Amino acid sequence: MKLKQRVVLLAILLVIFIFTKVFLIDNLDTSAANREDQRAFHRMMASLRVELDPRLDHTLQSPWEIAAQWVVPREVYPEETPELGAVMHAMSTKKIIKADVGYKGTQLKALLILEGGQKVVFKPKRYARDYVVEGEPYAGYDRHNAEVAAFHLDRILGFRRAPLVVGRFVNLRTEIKPVATEQLLGTFMTVGNNTCFYGKCYYCRETEPACADGDIMEGSVTLWLPDVWPLQKHRHPWGRTYREGKLARWEYDESYCDAVKKTSPYDSGPRLLDIIDTAIFDYLIGNADRHHYESFQDDEGASMLILLDNAKSFGNPALDERSILAPLYQCCM
């Protein structure tokens, strides 16, 4: 083999060697990074795991007293909550001592009082797990399991602005009807072999009751916030009109955020950033129905935006409603 050919062959082998080495190093680096990502993910999952254990060690307080002490202006529960499992266990098992129609709103719910005097909101199951809600992104009944999933996403994102939610089965005949107020009891009915109720709300109709499977009804239970933290309701600046052919200003005015920034409480403090956080949260859960929101009263704009009423979520897994993100892409903050 001539010298020139040997040099060319040696150069080719050298290039192959270098590329092989670089490729192996890259692969090793990527594998190491992937392993570290997996370890970080498992650490996060371990920190979020909740055991529904009724024991409350090192305290004589009730679960309700502990949960009430967690609430501060910028979070509903703290990052470190060793008692969380005990509180959620109490929500899913404590005896129901009173049942009434839900507080004001458009969707069916019941107000329950659990043993120890704790108020909770019960939202009944209306759809099978795999039911897809077609139509507008805010269409359909409330989804009780959406409340549960949204609460856990709030934990994952580290917002800690959503009240505690658990799933619960209740026996309407033995647990609810004996302790129901006349107002709630008057909305009970039997459809086939199933016990049903339609409650009192803006869209509640006798023709559209929520029905149990026999007497057993699945639903979500949301912990009522302490009475010492009264809520204030606000119209969401990016709310929809809910009228066909009529757009809200933000839907056609790309400079709309400039006007919002000049009005209270969005002209100072964290509220506008909370609106943007909430837009991202709502986009992830598919909630296009946040026409109002709540904060704590007399907060002068310092309170968080509380992530209440997340049940118009997870209706259609094939739909990503971009307009939910309008506060983010219009304000760019």
Output the known binding site for Mn(2+): 142, 309
Active-site annotation holder among 289, 298, 299, 320: 289
Please give the annotated binding residues, written as ranges: 107, 123, 142, 222-225, 294, 309
Kindly write down the DSSP assignment for every residue of 196-224, as one continuous string. Answer: EE--SSTT--TTS-EE-BTTEEEEEEEEP
> For this structure, is 289 an active site residue?
yes
Cβ(144)–Cβ(289) under 8 Å? no
The amino acid at residue 291 is H
Decide if 133 contacts 127 (C-beta within 8 A).
Answer: yes
Angle at 116 between CA 114 and CA 117, to 5 degrees: 65
CA-to-CA distance for 222 and 87, rounded, in angstroms?
A: 12
CA separation for the pair 115, 97 (Å, rounded): 6
How far apart are alpha carbons 328 and 326 in whole angstroms?
5
- Residue (of 130, 143, 124, 127) closest to 196 by Cα position: 124
**CA dist., res. 112 & res. 101, Å (int):** 9
List the 210-211 sheet strands across, edge first: 188-191, 194-197, 210-211
- Cβ density class 246-264: b for 16+ within 10 Å, e for less: eebebeeeeebbeebeeee
Place of tokens 């934990």: 155
Task: Please state the residue numbers annotated as binding site for ATP.
Answer: 107, 123, 222-225, 294, 309
- Write the DSSP string, 247-303: --GGGT-TTHHHHHTTSTTTTSSSHHHHHHHHHHHHHHHT----SEEEEETT-TT-S
- As annotated, the active-site residues are 289
